[in-house]
Structure formats: C-alpha cells, structure tokens
C-alpha cells in the first residue's frame, strides 16, 4: 500500500464527518444551481431531515455507550428511571433473612488428673500429656497455616479479577471514545447544518 493511499485512509478515518458534511453541502448547492426548485421549502425540508438524522445519530451513539458500560439500552434505562418516580406505587416484597454465625475454634485438651502411685508413673503420665499437647499444637498450627494459604490464594484470585475488570473497563473507555466520538461529531454537524438551512429559509 502506497503512502498516498495510507494518507487518504487516515484523512477519511479522522475527518470523515467534515468531509460528508462538505459533500452534502456540495450536493445541496448543485441541486439549487442545476434545477428549478423552491429554495425556501427545500431549505426547510433539508433542515428538518438534517436535524432529525443528526439528533438520531447522537442518541444512537449515547445508546451504544450506555449498552457498552451497563449492558442496557437507552430505552430500558429510561423506563427504570420512570419506575423510580415516587408517585408510582410499588409493592415491597417481604423477605425473611436468616442469620447464621459459625465460629470455629481449635480445642486443646489437657487431662489434669490420673491416679499414679509412683514417681515414675507420674512422670510418664506427664510426658504423655506433653506429647499429646505438642501433637495438638502442631495440628492446630497446620490448620492455621492452611487457612492462611487459602486466604492468600483467595486474595490473589480477587486481585486478578479486579485487574481483569480494570483492563476491560479501560478497553471499553477506549472503544467508546474511538468509535462514538466521530458519530457524535457528525450528528452535531448535521444539526448545525440543518439549523443554518432553516435560518436561511
């Protein structure tokens, strides 16, 4: 692809709203010069058509942006706003909410008393209790460590999810700006063109 074609594609991609308005103006002038038409009625008709199409294009662009961000059409958003009118009666459904609380604790058992007659038996019993307590502490520590690892994993998943949402939002912003701005500019120029035609008429 040559440089001139790339340049023409760039000019059209950036300035197409202005170029289309210029072509409409050229056709408008050509019709007046070539044909015998009623200038006043023609300008009024062109004014009406241009302003209606321009306003429709602006609404279409707004509708596309709303659907891009909220996943809803402009009409549904308008109806939702109407339903929130305080003059409209709405029935409030009764909802029963059950609250539950779960408390998990680690219990460490320690036997205080056992009939031991000799000193050696008492020492053996004490050693058994110490070993049992060590096992329970180790098990409890392993349980806490597992919960910490699970919490860290959940936090990492949540961070990744937020990152993806942020990237999606950034992509939507770029898409709405790049795709919608040209249509809005063209619609605005059509409204201005229609207003000028109506003023001339």
Q: Are 58 and 187 in contact (CB under 8 A)?
A: yes
Q: How confident is the model at residue 65 (pLDDT cuts 50, 70, 90)?
A: confident
Helices (H), the chain: 3-34, 39-70, 74-83, 119-200
Identify the pLDDT of residue 27: 92
Residue 191 in any domain: the answer is: yes
User: Which residue segment(s) compose the domain that 67 sits in?
Assistant: 3-84+114-200
Output DSSP code: residue 96: -
Q: Are 31 and 37 in contact (CB under 8 A)?
A: yes
Please tell me the distance from the alpha carbon of residue 38 to that of residue 93, in angstroms, as a whole number. Answer: 63
Number of domains making up the chain: 1
Range of lowest pLDDT (27-31, 68-72, 75-79): 68-72
Residue 97 in any domain: the answer is: no
Q: Tokens standing for 13?
A: 């991609």
Mean pLDDT, the chain, integer: 80
Residue 171 in any domain: the answer is: yes
Calculate the dihedral angle through the C-alpha atoms of 157, 162, 163, 169, rounding to the nearest 10 degrees.
150
Identify the pLDDT of residue 151: 92
Residue 96 in any domain: the answer is: no
Please tell me the distance from the alpha carbon of residue 78 to that of residue 59, in angstroms, as a whole number. Answer: 13
Please tell me the distance from the alpha carbon of residue 74 to that of residue 80, in angstroms, as a whole number. Answer: 10
Q: Tokens standing for 119?
A: 């000193």
Residue 100 in any domain: the answer is: no
Mean pLDDT computed over 135-163? 91
Better-scored residue on pLDDT, 68 or 193: 193
Residue 95 in any domain: the answer is: no
Q: Are 194 and 50 in contact (CB under 8 A)?
A: yes
Residue 180 in any domain: the answer is: yes
Residue 89 in any domain: the answer is: no
Identify the pLDDT of residue 183: 85
Q: Is the pLDDT of residue 85 over 80?
A: no
Highest mean pLDDT of the ranges 1-5, 25-29, 101-105: 25-29
Range of lowest pLDDT (29-43, 80-94, 126-140): 80-94
């Amino acid at each position: 692809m040559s440089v001139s074609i790339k340049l023409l594609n760039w000019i059209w991609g950036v300035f197409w709203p202005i170029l289309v308005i210029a072509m409409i103006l050229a056709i408008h002038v050509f019709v007046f010069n070539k044909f015998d038409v009623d200038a006043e009625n023609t300008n009024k008709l062109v004014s009406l058509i241009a302003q209606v199409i321009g306003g429709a294009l602006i609404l279409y662009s707004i509708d596309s942006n709303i659907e891009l961000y909220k996943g809803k059409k402009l009409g549904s958003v308008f109806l939702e706003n109407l339903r929130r009118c305080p003059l409209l009666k709405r029935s409030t459904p009764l909802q029963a909410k059950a609250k539950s609380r779960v408390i998990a604790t680690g219990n460490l058992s320690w036997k205080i008393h056992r009939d031991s007659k000799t000193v050696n038996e008492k020492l053996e019993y004490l050693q058994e209790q110490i070993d049992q307590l060590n096992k329970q502490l180790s098990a409890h520590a392993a349980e806490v460590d597992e919960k910490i690892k699970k919490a860290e994993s959940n936090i990492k998943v949540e961070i990744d999810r937020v990152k993806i949402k942020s990237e999606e939002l950034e992509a939507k912003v770029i898409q709405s700006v790049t795709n919608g701005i040209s249509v809005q500019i063209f619609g605005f120029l059509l409204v201005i063109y229609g207003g000028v035609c109506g003023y001339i008429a």
